[in-house]
Amino acid sequence: MPSQGLLTSYLLSSTPHALTRATTHPFLVSAGRGTIPKPLLSQWLSQDRLYAQSYIRFIGLLLAKIRLPAHNPNSATPRVATSEQHAVDVLIDALVNIRTELRFFDDTAAEYDLDLTAISVEEGGVGLGESGTGSYITTSADISTTGSGSCPGFTGGHAGKGTETGERESGLHGLCGSQGECQMQADGGEVCYPPTQSNSNSITNTQTTQNIQQGQDQSQPANLEPTHGECDPACRTTDTSNPSAEPLERGGPIFFCATRTTRAYIDLFMSAGSAGVSVLEGLAVLWATEVCYLRSWRYASSFLKEREANPSSDDTDGGALRDKFIPNWSSAEFEAFVNGIGDVLDEMAESIKGAEEAEMMRGRCLEWWRQVVWLEERFWPTL
């Protein structure tokens, strides 16, 4: 497609504002300035690792699509590598790189005490300030479902609630508040939950009847709603005033897994590697993810100079981003790898015969590009 220019240039110029948002996210600014706390870095890194693992299967699906020529079509001339052979080369390089990358994740996480099974806020982890204690729920190991700390939403600390009989304290349940449920063992071994609408009405009616019998003033409605972040015996799995009532729906324990955004990225990889999608489109997805990643960390590296006078140990992540991750993901070697994928992508696009076919393929690649850029912006954690 010489008259239309290179496919990679076309894609980069097609969504300038979305690309800028995806590659200049506030998370990257904080990363370059050394202000990302370890729990948040662990949450992001654990998801990036799942993304990298799915990358292996994606590359395998692309390799399975490629058919190499069985022999040189013209034995009188030297063998010339085809675009398919170039594609095989960059895909094998990608597999080698991702194997190295996964080992790099493990080694760096061990060196800087980062958790590669950290649960993100999106899936139930508690961010700074959400629980009122400045703490995080970050790992599946930190979440207990038995014993005195049985609520997986418990984040430590206590909050007092005034009652007519005195002060009562209960653990802060930041996760419960965010999900509208609580799994702390209440009195009698029952599980405490905010009531559903129907159950809340039943409890309210029962309490109102009791208040009338006791001669209490009904002009001031009783506050039966549990304070945010606290367990209240009034909200149980079973309505004690109605023994035949069905138990309220119970939430399960929280486990480490891909977030919705990571899952969307994995699904994108599987779609781009499916049988009905061309190798060219798959390479467009591969290049799009890598070029966005390179631009993002090059942007983060632009802030490193602000902290040159300070030791990396002063960074809130202990220096993991400054000393390890940012140099690795903004390096000249990584740039050469990304450019190599782009060269093969342009080569395959140029080999398409027919203007109509070329234009149709360009449109398909643009749709894949837009999806990648959209996901890239949302893959960064919210600060």
Walk me through the domains of the chain, giving residue ranges and CATH numbers: 2-67+82-118+256-379 (1.20.910.10), 130-254 (no CATH)
Please state, in angstroms and rounded to a whole number, the distance separating the CA atoms of residues 231 and 126. Answer: 17
Q: Which is nearest to 159 in space by CA: 149, 151, 169?
A: 169
Residue 82: pLDDT band by 50, 70, 90 thresholds? confident
Task: Write the pLDDT tens digit of every residue in 259-280.
Answer: 999 999 999 999 999 999 999 9
Is the model's pTM score more than 0.85? no
3-state DSSP assignment of residue 138: coil
- Mean predicted lDDT score pLDDT of the chain: 75
| The pLDDT of residue 356 is above 60 | yes
User: With contact defined as beta carbons under 8 Å apart, do 153 and 177 qualify?
Assistant: yes
Concatenated DSSP letters of 275-313 = TTS-HHHHHHHHHHHHHHHHHHHHHHHTTGGGGTTS-GG
Task: Write the pLDDT tens digit of every residue in 182-223.
Answer: 433 333 443 333 334 444 444 444 444 444 445 544 444 444
